[in-house]
Amino acid sequence: MNPIIANLTKQKIWLAPLAGFTDNAFRTICKKCGADVVVSEMVSADGLVNNKEKSLKYLDFTDFQRPYGIQLFGSDPAIMAKGTEIALAEKPDFIDINMGCPVKKVVKRGAGSALMNSPKLAENIIQKVKNVMSGTSIPLSVKIRAGWDKYCINAVEFGKRMENAGCDMICLHPRTRSQMFSGQSDWNLIKKLKGKLTIPLIGNGDINSVEDIIRMFKETGCDSVMIGRGILGKPWIFRNIKEHFESGEVSDISWIEKIKIIKEHFELEIESKGQTKASLEMRDHFSHYTKSLQGSAKVREFINRCLDSEDVLEAIETLFLSQEKTFNG
Ligand SMILES: Cc1cc2nc3c(=O)[nH]c(=O)nc-3n(C[C@H](O)[C@H](O)[C@H](O)COP(=O)(O)O)c2cc1C
């Protein structure tokens, strides 16, 4: 196996691409907490080719985040190839093609999970993209779903076709497009696909704890795992995982350490997007950070009105310290 691919999948814990969440600042925080590999939010290949500022901005990353992959979406092989050329100029560690997004706006254009209904077109995209990557040693991955709906579950055949078309790694989130994000992901499909592939497979779906990670490796035999929603509001889960791998213990970090991480996250967002945009965009993160904490509803209501970052952080700090008192006596 290409040593770059072997090295990437030796990295066991990947941060999933989460549009609207895993931006530059949050990826840095996840990396600091111990994520091994991170991926951009999905970037429109059409947007890149048409020089759209918003799409180009999604490519930003820092060397600290490496290994870092850029994920592209689109449905036109020539545009996907051109978009890849633009993305490659940023020198990512890998390129990932999104063939799993279930969102209407994306599938309507034949992209994301709609490509699982058009395997020939999907193969063509992989071949064209691989072609522009041929002068580099940068790997190409594809992120797929179980299939379109319960009547068309084709992840295993489709994944094998992507391997044959030139993919170096595959990530499987085993829910159908119809399921969107509801119900349970079917890890058995990860096991089945792993049995067919000669390239590495990254397992994804419903990992919320250290125990889930251990179970996914054991039950599916996948090479690495990718965590999405499970890290929202708790990026420190990566640190807990690392500690578990080193010591066998499963423990949580202190409330004070959590406050420090949240503060740094907010500061990085402000640095990258400016005070107003960062304050607005952080609201979803704050909502996750404070979810299910005692007395959090009032704090969230305040945060959703307040634009002063000092006041927001003070409210969070008070909330977190009050949890410490409640839980530690
Ligand atoms: C808000 C949100 C945004 C997402 N954005 C992307 C994306 O940009 N690209 C992608 O491949 N998957 C995206 N996903 C799917 C996740 O990467 C992941 O496959 C899915 O959430 C299942 O993993 P989980 O159960 O660990 O969350 C997104 C999911 C959510 C909930």
- Domain coordinates in residue numbering, the chain: 3-247, 255-328
Query: 228 CA to middle of ligand 1, Å?
Result: 6
255-328: CATH topology is 1.10.1200
Compute the distance between CA of residue 37 and CA of residue 86 in angstroms, rounded to an integer: 21
pLDDT tens per residue, range 294-314:
999 999 999 999 988 899 999
* Residue 237 beta carbon below 6 angstroms from any ligand 1 atom: no
d(CA 175, CA 303): 34
Q: Which of 101, 167, 171, 222 is catalytic?
A: 101
Dump pLDDT digits (tens) for 103-138.
999 999 999 999 999 999 999 999 999 999 999 999
222 is catalytic: no
Q: What is the C-alpha to C-alpha distance for residues 290 and 109, in angstroms, rounded to an integer? A: 36
Provide CB contacts within 8 A for 110, sequence distance 6+: 75, 118, 121
Of the candidates 51, 121, 37, the residue with the CA atom closest to the CA atom of residue 86: 51
* Positive/negative CA dihedral, 253, 223, 73, 168: positive
Give 58-103 as a DSSP string: TT---GGG-SEEEEEE-S-HHHHHHHHHHHHTT--SEEEEEE----
Q: Parallel, antiparallel, or unpaired: how do β-strands 94-99 and 140-147 relate?
A: parallel
pTM of the model: 0.96
Tell me how far the alpha carbon of residue 16 lies from the centroid of ligand 1, in angstroms.
6
Q: What is the pLDDT of residue 11?
A: 80
Q: Does 182 contact ligand 1 (Cβ within 6 A)?
A: no
- φ and ψ of 43, to 5 deg: -115, 135
Beta-bridge partner residues of 202: 171, 224
CB of 204 closer than 6 angstroms to any ligand 1 atom: yes
> CATH number of 3-247: 2.30.180.10, 3.90.180.10, 3.40.228.10, 3.20.20.70?
3.20.20.70
What is the share, in percent, of the chain residues with pLDDT greater than 90? 87
Binning pLDDT at 50, 70 and 90, where does residue 326 land? low
Q: What's residue 210's pLDDT?
A: 85
**Cβ atoms 115, 125 nearer than 8 A:** yes
| DSSP designation for 16 | P
**What single-letter amino acid sits at 200?**
P
Residue type, 187: W
Give tens-digit pLDDT for 10-55.
789 999 999 999 999 999 999 999 999 999 999 999 999 999 999 9
Q: How many CB atoms lie within 10 A of CB 298?
A: 10
Query: Average pLDDT, stretch 205-223?
Result: 94
Same fold, 3-247 and 255-328: no
> Which amino acid is located at 194 in the chain?
K
